[in-house]
């Protein structure tokens, strides 16, 4: 009897592998960094700033009306701020690091200070595992207004550096039955809070930002090369997958199954392609 891998199986293997990688990095003291380009994340605008404002953690107040007027994504907000304040903000720069659990949190629905709620069904993600920040690494020498895109950077939390009283902020989350559970997150409140790992990370990213590859301006050289290799491998593997798909579609034992499981759009595309080949 044949069994096919499902998306649930792949998700479990991915999660299992990620935890193995995290443990290996902790044991061998390896700095684990993730970089995302062209991100559409909005948790800095929609979660972090409102929560900090609600709990008096911002040095300057910001209203909800002012937040609504900002660009939709965090990347566009920070890129706009960088360009509009070109003299004050000069690359390379980075934002403060904050707990990735903030993306699953919202300000308390009752407006209480010291409280937060879960963004979906009042559930909050695992705290104190990953930290997020945004960085901008490069600007053109001939035109200071020409700057690279802002990148989203995640890094693994390292207890010996990040689990310190000045880095931890505690909130409370009230559940539906009235039970209150503590939510302890890592938040580097401002630039004056020492963050040695972020300083190290920025030094590494700046050294790896290519200046001689136009399409990788302000990006990461090893990641750019790896992306090129991955795309080539994908193109090769896609041929294997497409060939396998053709074999399945032409298997007489699976003909009825394929017919009823395919969508109308897929069926129409196959029939129209066959008609064009005949012409």
Sequential pLDDT tens for the chain (279 residues)? 778 889 999 999 999 999 999 999 999 999 999 999 888 899 999 999 999 999 989 888 788 888 888 998 999 999 999 999 988 999 999 999 999 999 999 999 888 999 999 988 899 999 999 999 999 999 888 888 889 999 999 999 999 999 999 999 999 999 988 889 999 999 999 889 999 999 999 999 999 987 778 888 888 888 889 999 999 999 999 998 888 877 776 777 776 766 666 778 877 887 788 788 766
123 shares a domain with 235: no
Reference 147, options 82, 203, 67, 60; nearest CA is 82
261 shares a domain with 123: no
85: containing domain: 31-217
164 shares a domain with 137: yes
266 shares a domain with 154: no
252 shares a domain with 208: no
274 shares a domain with 208: no
**Residue 110: per-residue pLDDT:** 87
188 shares a domain with 84: yes
53 shares a domain with 115: yes
**Residue 253: per-residue pLDDT:** 72
Tokens, residue 56? 């008096």
Domain boundary among 187, 217, 247: 217
* Position 15 in a domain: no
**Residue 259: per-residue pLDDT:** 67
Q: Is 129 in contact with 100 (CB distance < 8 Å)?
A: yes
249 shares a domain with 196: no
180 shares a domain with 249: no
184 shares a domain with 73: yes
* Position 122 in a domain: yes
124 shares a domain with 50: yes
* Position 11 in a domain: no
User: How does DSSP assign 85-111, residue by residue?
Assistant: TTTT--SSEEPPPEEGGGGGEEE-TT-
**Residue 279: per-residue pLDDT:** 60
Tokens, residue 46? 């929609």
* Position 25 in a domain: no
Contacts of 278 (CB under 8 A, 6+ apart): none
Number of domains in the chain: 2
**Residue 8: per-residue pLDDT:** 93
Alpha-carbon distances, residue 147 vs 100, 137, 138, 205, 248 (angstroms)? 26, 8, 6, 16, 49
Element (H or E) spanning 185, and its range?
strand 180-186
């Amino acid at each position: 009897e044949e069994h096919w891998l499902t998306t649930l199986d792949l998700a479990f293997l991915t999660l299992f592998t990620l935890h193995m990688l995290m443990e290996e990095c902790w044991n061998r003291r390896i700095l684990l960094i993730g970089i995302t380009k062209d991100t559409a994340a909005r948790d800095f605008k929609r979660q972090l700033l409102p929560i900090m404002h609600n709990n008096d953690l911002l040095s300057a107040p910001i209203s909800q009306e002012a937040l609504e007027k900002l660009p939709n994504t965090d990347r566009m907000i920070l890129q706009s701020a960088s360009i509009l304040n070109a003299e004050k903000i000069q690359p390379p720069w980075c934002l403060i690091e904050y707990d990735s659990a903030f993306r699953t949190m919202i300000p308390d629905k009752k407006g209480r200070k010291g409280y937060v709620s879960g963004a979906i069904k009042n559930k909050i993600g695992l705290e104190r595992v990953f930290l997020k920040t945004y960085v901008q690494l490069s600007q053109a020498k001939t035109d200071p207004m020409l700057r690279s895109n802002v990148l989203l950077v995640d890094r693994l939390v390292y207890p010996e550096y990040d689990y310190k009283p000045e880095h931890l902020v505690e909130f409370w989350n009230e559940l539906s039955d009235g039970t209150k559970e503590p939510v302890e997150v890592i938040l580097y409140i401002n630039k004056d809070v020492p963050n040695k790992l972020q300083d190290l990370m920025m030094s590494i990213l700046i050294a790896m930002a290519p200046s001689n590859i136009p399409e990788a301006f302000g990006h990461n050289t090893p990641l750019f090369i790896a992306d090129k290799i991955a795309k080539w491998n994908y193109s090769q593997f896609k041929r294997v997958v497409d060939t396998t798909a053709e074999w399945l579609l032409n298997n007489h034992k699976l003909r009825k199954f394929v017919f009823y499981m395919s969508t109308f759009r897929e069926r129409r595309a196959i029939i129209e392609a066959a008609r064009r080949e005949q012409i």
